[in-house]
Amino acid sequence: MVKTMSARILLIEDDPDINNLVTINLKAMHLEVESCSDGQQGLAKAMANDFDLIVLDLMLPGVDGLEICRKLRADQVHTPILMLTARDSETDRVIGLEMGADDYLTKPFSIRELQARIKASLRRSALLQAPPEEETLEFDCLQINVAQRTVKLDRTALDLTSTEFDLLTYMARRPGHAFSRTQLLDGVWGYQHAGYEHTVNSHINRLRNKLETDQNDPRWIKTVWGVGYKFVARN
């Protein structure tokens, strides 16, 4: 069970009504909330403080949400990011995920769904803080050290986000098993929600960019048409 009393949330949202509504409801979950309405100020806070989660609006004055994501990830800040966006196109959501967001929620959203997403993120964070499992997964030239949360390919360390690491490890523990996108959402993100399968697709694409030599003929993560994806231990 997540001990939400100690969880610290940074909310970066310029709409005062949404900012106030989200803050009230997160505090009702016994979360510590620090909020701001300016992108530049939000970026500075995210860089300077140790938060458990950042709830980030896409459209912000000063620096927009995409640029905040990019700068945080470039500076090796891996705090989970839940992006709020009024843009409903698939392209905008994919761009947000590719910039480093871990999840997204389209406005208008229900408070219950927002709370569910935040609980799922905090559950994952709690697992990361638990005593590490003494486990190493090795497949030819690929090594996944679960305890240290590191991945090496041909002895070269890969720079994976927390979600990318969790996704790879989840699949690699059952090599050859075909996972549906819904199963991956539930197993890695901690929730099931029809219509959010593109979250999985985007993270798989990012993983492949880091793992695969040939994107058109992936070695490690194969598409199973009509089902989803599977991790392949060996050709």
Q: DSSP state, 225?
A: T
Is residue 41 domain-shared with residue 124, that is, in the same domain?
Answer: yes
Query: Is 104 or 35 the better-scoring residue by pLDDT?
Result: 35
Is residue 99 domain-shared with residue 211, that is, in the same domain?
Answer: no
Cβ contacts of residue 5 below 8 Å, gap of 6+?
A: 30
Chain CA centroid to CA 37, Å: 23
Consecutive H or E run containing 115: helix 111-129
pLDDT mean over 198-221: 89
Is residue 121 domain-shared with residue 202, that is, in the same domain?
Answer: no
Is residue 74 domain-shared with residue 145, that is, in the same domain?
Answer: no
Query: Is 133 or 2 the better-scoring residue by pLDDT?
Result: 133
Q: What is the CATH number of the domain that holds 223?
A: 1.10.10.10
Is residue 208 domain-shared with residue 109, that is, in the same domain?
Answer: no
**Strand runs labelled E in 45-167:** 53-57, 81-85, 103-106, 136-139, 142-145, 150-153, 156-157
Of 129, 149, 183, the last residue of a domain is 129
Is residue 19 domain-shared with residue 108, that is, in the same domain?
Answer: yes
Is residue 142 domain-shared with residue 50, that is, in the same domain?
Answer: no
**Sign of the CA dihedral running 172, 178, 182, 183:** negative
Q: Which of 31-45, 99-113, 205-219 has the weakest average pLDDT?
A: 99-113
For 70-95, write each residue's pLDDT tens digit. Answer: 899 888 888 889 999 876 666 666 67
Number of domains comprising the chain: 2
- Amino acid of residue 120: A
| Residue 194 predicted with pLDDT over 60 | no
- Which domain range does residue 222 map to? 136-231
Is residue 100 domain-shared with residue 20, that is, in the same domain?
Answer: yes
Of 113, 129, 145, the last residue of a domain is 129
Q: Which pLDDT score, from 0 to 100, does residue 1 have?
A: 36
Provide, rounded to the nearest whole percent, the portion of the chain with pLDDT above 70: 87
Q: Are 66 and 74 in contact (CB under 8 A)?
A: no
Q: Which pLDDT score, from 0 to 100, does residue 82 have?
A: 92
pLDDT mean over 99-110: 84
Is residue 112 domain-shared with residue 216, that is, in the same domain?
Answer: no
For 147-188, write each residue's pLDDT tens digit. Answer: 888 999 999 999 888 888 989 999 999 999 999 988 888 888
Considering the chain, what is the average pLDDT of its residues?
A: 85
Q: What is the value of pTM for the model shown?
A: 0.64
Q: Which pLDDT score, from 0 to 100, does residue 163 have?
A: 85
Is residue 181 domain-shared with residue 155, that is, in the same domain?
Answer: yes
pLDDT mean over 227-232: 94
Is residue 27 domain-shared with residue 140, that is, in the same domain?
Answer: no
Of 92, 110, 129, the last residue of a domain is 129
